[in-house]
Structure 1
Amino acid sequence: MKITMTGVENIPREGGALLAINHLSYVDYVMAGFPGERQGRLTRFMAKKEVFDHPVGGPVMRTFKHISVDRSAGLESMERAESALRAGEVVGIFPESTISQSFLIKDLKTGAVRIAARADVPLIPIVLWGTHRIFTKGRKVDLSRHQRIGIEVGEPMRPTGEDPVAETAELRSRMESMLERLILAEEDRPEGAWWLPQKYGGSAPTIEEAAAAYAEERRLRAQRKAAKRKAK
């Protein structure tokens, strides 16, 4: 792979820092750890509880001391992240919560700015581009050679927590600008490419189309769970 990184110096060499990362693929946990590693830092990622429940992924996540996020008990996960940050660790969070199937920046949860404010650490946006071409939702794994990955580390924010909605909007705006730079830096943008957002000439779903598909997916998942409970 050809991995291009910019802004790595924005990650402090010591002290706590929260990294807010966009979510394109199942390999983002690996790629988003590279900038910190360049600064001599290891990143503890927050990931949904289901990953930790997986027979293969679970032991790996626990061994590397990543942070399980139980969506039914979000406060506990936030407190664990805050504790790690106060102890001087680097923590990674995906504020979109799920993979963006439009490959643009989705609405962000306010948890990132609230955690950073409560732990009194910098919130550093990181945007990835190209990871979805390796392994993303609804697509087969592509491990062919010469994949190009772009990673931009933005300037740190210092959320106060006084207005989490406004501060989250600022975070999203910064991440959108970073993503656009990475996309436009990609010379190969074939018309109609599945991995390219529509606004840049590709055929990926719009944010609205992706949101509707995700809502339907959640509805069907809830329906299946209810049917299983009824069968018992």
Structure 2
Amino acid sequence: MEPVFRTLEIVASMVVRAAGTTITFEGLENVPARGGAVIAINHTSYVDFLPAALGTRARNRRIRFMIKAEMQDVRIVNFLIRHTGTIPVNRQAGARAYAEAVHQLRSGELVGVYPEATISRAFVLKDFKSGASRMALEARVPIIPCIVWGAHRVWTKDHPKQLRRKKIPFTVRFGRPILPVGTAAELDAALKHQMSTILREVQVAYPHPAGEYWVPEGLGGGAPSLDEAKKLDEAELAERARRAREHH
């Protein structure tokens, strides 16, 4: 039953209703009813894990998310990590988290991974890390692409949170399972191709007013291009490193 996880699901559903948010789920039949699978999610928001998790819940499945280890320093978050099967990731030493993720997959769990690792300021797919593909190959489980769109309008980088009742719609689409065959590079390429295709289809179908900051440049929006977003990411990393040097 996992009472802590169930409580989180109830609270998440209540928060979604309170905000007036409607979530459209597509491709739920692609989420396996049983057995392990990597759920590969695009990353545009601090809250895109929530609609993805509610999507798999509609199939009576739960996602074991991978989360940066620093979140264990927050007492309540650490409590939730320990009681929901969440996998902490130390970015300087990720082997332990990787091994735990493979173990969970082999045990029949769904493991949620962001192949881009960090939020895309351009709201299109960045370069992928190979972790999702390597896990799938080692555990011999499929990868399920998952596109979440709309959550970035609620909370993303460089823009204020919109947590009040805004009635912002979300779309969650699960793509066809990608079988664990070939090399990690080949699996990565197949994953990125399918996720890019789905993301574009979802974005085009979703209202995209010209000039809005949350609309990608390619659809006439005000979001930065991939190159501009990359420079912003590099500046953020440099500033983070500077602060870390000063701290030590």
Aligned to 1:223: 242
Aligned to 1:155: 176
Distance between the aligned counterparts of 2:190 and 2:162, measured in 1? 34
Relative distance call for 1:137 and 1:62 in structure 2 (3 A) is farther
Aligned to 1:49: 69
Distance between the aligned counterparts of 1:190 and 1:43, measured in 2? 33
Provide the secondary structure at the position in 2 that maps to 1:113.
Answer: helix
Per-residue CA distance 1:169-212 (angstroms, 9 max, x = gap): 221111111011111111x3211000000000101011111111
Q: Is the Cα contact below 8 Å between 1:52 and 1:62 reproduced in 2?
A: no
1:51 deviates by 2.2
Provide the secondary structure at the position in 2 that maps to 1:4.
Answer: strand
Per-residue CA distance 1:122-147 (angstroms, 9 max, x = gap): 11100010000011112222132321
Residue 122 of structure 1, aligned match among 132, 135, 142: 142
1:53 deviates by 2.3
Q: What 5-or-longer segments of structure 1 have no aligned partner?
A: none
Distance between the aligned counterparts of 1:63 and 1:86, measured in 2? 20
Aligned to 1:213: 232
Provide the secondary structure at the position in 2 that maps to 1:204.
Answer: coil
Identity %: 37
1:38 deviates by 1.0
Ranges of 4+ aligned residues in structure 1 off by more than 2 Å: 51-63
Query: RMSD between aligned alpha carbons?
Result: 1.2
Distance between the aligned counterparts of 2:84 and 2:233, measured in 1? 30
Distance between the aligned counterparts of 1:32 and 1:119, measured in 2? 22
TM-score when normalising by structure 1? 0.94
Provide the secondary structure at the position in 2 that maps to 1:72.
Answer: coil
Distance between the aligned counterparts of 1:151 and 1:48, measured in 2? 23
1:86 deviates by 0.7
Distance between the aligned counterparts of 2:172 and 2:54, measured in 1? 9
Q: Where does 1:14-163 land on structure 2 (aligned, <5 Å)?
A: 14-143=34-163, 144-160=165-181, 162-163=182-183
Distance between the aligned counterparts of 1:52 and 1:183, measured in 2? 34
Provide the secondary structure at the position in 2 that maps to 1:126.
Answer: strand
1:54 deviates by 2.5
